[in-house]
Structure 1
Amino acid sequence: MWDPNILDIQIVKLSAQHITCIVKSLDGRIDCVISSIYGYNLMENRKDLWSELKLIHQSIGNTPWLLCGDFNVVIGNEEKLGGSLLSEANTKDFKDFIDGYHLNHLKLIGCFIHGIIRRIMFSRVWSRLDRALVNDSWINIFSSSQVEFLLPHFSNHSPALVSIYEEFYSKLKKLRGALKEINRKHFYNISEQAQRARHALEDAQKNLQTSPFNPVFINKEKECVAAYNKLLDCEMSFYQQKARIAWSIKGDRCTILFHSIIKSNRHHNKVLVLYNGMGQRITNGDEIANELISLYKNLMGTATDTLNPDKNIIQSGPCMNNSQARILSALVSKDEVRNTIFSMSDNKALGPDGYGVSFFKSA
């Protein structure tokens, strides 16, 4: 069921094991292919499903594709609790399908293992039968998306709630024109502006030398100092950003696989939904951030007054001798700094100043 005032749905393939549709929102924000899956119980019967999905994959090209539902098969024994162990033959077709067409699991929250296969006496066998798979195009376009498997209630399966949130980068794109105009107007050729500001400051200071108590020259120097400092900060920020760009280009292989993994990791690491202490579902970014801050504040506790340490108690335990104390309090030598820097890998994360390890090694 869908609201025709919001979505335009066109069925492109219909079979006993899946329904595949082209889904477009009338506002143009969503344009994708969705396959709703209900796989047969028997492995041999599911081979038709993989063949049909293969044809769909070949026909949709780079269109975002979501495959969601009950596949009636698991990837391995780690997705199964209870019952007999599975052989490689039981899972090979499904794993080959996922790997062969470069599918990824959509970011998941909720009930991880959520399908009850059967009941034997008073025992249950649980398996991850329900899942949501997506192609690389889906992650590229809808990176802020996830599937939440809710509680099953009276069913043997959990309802899947797929959410697509507005991408933060799309908001920034709307600002691109305005930001470029601001950059052109105020920060174009920033180094030359800083040079002109320095010359203006020198002229103001020369005038002040001829008449030290002239209020006009005093105010002019203050204005020139403020303008020069501001432009120096902008110039420093510009070169820091240039350093980051150079590191990004030279710090990795820039292969399709590398960027695909980065996007997949970024997709899975996003926190899009959170339940607070009262069980309320939070989707607003600011509310999620405040809830996390509140959680860690409660974990860390509040500041309390403590007693001063008793030196007699400390001295009665193991203590360093004078030689050890001198070594511990000695200044760090240049050789120690150099050896530490050169022992680090070039692809370490940037420091708070924006420069990477390779920058300091080269310098």
Structure 2
Amino acid sequence: MADNESVIITVVYGVSEVIDRRNLWTALETLAQQCSDIPWMVGGDFNAVRDLNEVCGISGDIRMATEEFNAGILEAGLIPLPMQGEWFTWHNCSTSMRSLWKRLDRILINDRWLARFPSAYYHSLTPRTSDHSPLVLHGDIQQHNGGMFRFDNYLAHSPEFIHNVQNIWHHEIVGIPMYAVTRKLKALKPVFRLQRRNKGDLTMNVQLAKGFLDEAQQLRRVRRRILQINDENGFTHTDLGEIAHEFVSYYQNLLGGTRRRLSVDIRYLRPWARHCITDEEANQLLLPISADDVKQAMFDIADDKAPGPDGYSSRFFKAAWPVVGEEVTRAVLDFFSTGKLLKQINSTILALIPKTTSSYCAKLT
């Protein structure tokens, strides 16, 4: 941030009574008028929730308090700052049936803050000495450290797209074809990042529009946290370390364990087979992969399909095929010939989504 730039940060501590909190909402609306042209952040303990999914446990009637909270934020033009970490930020420290969790602490921003710090977010930590979660603000990490790359398909329509790809692709890289392709794709990422920033930060505009849409529709994503799990022997584990260990052990056994191999006589399966392939069809399946097969497989992938871990969509390869097609095809054919695949290519992203049960409060990660 430049030396002559200013931001306004308002720290909130909401009172416990609904009627007394109305002064807070009025004050925020007044401050919003003064901060309309300045990045403004509001954070702290609001002592109110915005939706029922921000409460876990037996609580009183919170409908009026929730409606007034949402109305006050809407009038002040505030939107949520992206958050990571603990969903519930306060606990009444009870171990009885009256245990209560709420999301009372949060950080909100205006549109000027989002425009100035588009990648900022905060982390909600696990409470320690207090019954509230500490909130840690993080700056524009994506700009400083690169962050996760994503190729936006609109970049393929840029007049300089092919030229930028050619500037990288004409370099000779020593190594197997697959290694050369991955190195050149990596070298292209800073080029496309700069192109995105020069386009007026489309990501920020999308985030801003989504924030206002969420506010208008008052949509909330339910986040749950797994507090207990049963192992294969039926024992219940509540310790967070043991829960994590059970997840890891389960998928290690599922994906990497030694499986029992049974010999099956195919003759017993024939009565249930509606069609048995002919020798001609079998021979077709065994034909070598051709360059045309590689291109057809690539162009059969829809442009808007989610990209892989490298961030490149199929749209990039289609648009750049006159430049990259020959080398990409050679890399794919080399894999079918040698059976060797680079580690950075043979990767994926797994997300574990816990099942919702009525026996415990959960948090979706």
What is the TM-score with the length of structure 2 in the denominator? 0.47
TM-score (norm 1): 0.47
Which structure has greater strand proportion? 1
The higher radius of gyration belongs to 1
